[in-house]
Amino acid sequence: MNEHGGIATDSMQRTKTKGVFAYGDTRIAGPSQLIMAAAEGSMAAISVIAALTEEKFNQDKQHA
């Protein structure tokens, strides 16, 4: 939990659990903020793509 009563993440919306991301209302307990949720959702999507790309790169590198 973070100081707002939501799920704690780093600046790229990653939680302490590998492969688990959180954004928007899951990070902030209280009134919904659509603009913040949309912006954080975009950042989380970028983080997920980066994580998947890195994982694929590492797998391809191991099989080379």
- The predicted pLDDT at position 29 comes to 66
Note the pTM of the prediction, 2 decimals: 0.57
- The predicted pLDDT at position 30 comes to 66
Instruction: Give the span between the Cα atoms of 62 and 64, in whole angstroms.
Output: 6
- The predicted pLDDT at position 31 comes to 67
Read off the pLDDT of residues 11-54 as tens digits, 9 standing for 90 and up: 888 899 988 888 777 777 666 677 878 888 888 899 899 988 98
- The predicted pLDDT at position 49 comes to 92
Which CATH code, of 3.40.50.970, 1.25.10.10, 3.50.50.60, 3.40.50.300, is assigned to 1-64?
3.50.50.60
Instruction: Give the span between the Cα atoms of 31 and 35, in whole angstroms.
Output: 12
- The predicted pLDDT at position 16 comes to 93
Q: In this structure, are residues 1 and 7 in contact, taking their beta carbons and an 8 Å threshold? A: yes
Instruction: Give the span between the Cα atoms of 24 and 32, in whole angstroms.
Output: 8
Domain spans in the chain, listed from the N-terminal domain onward: 1-64
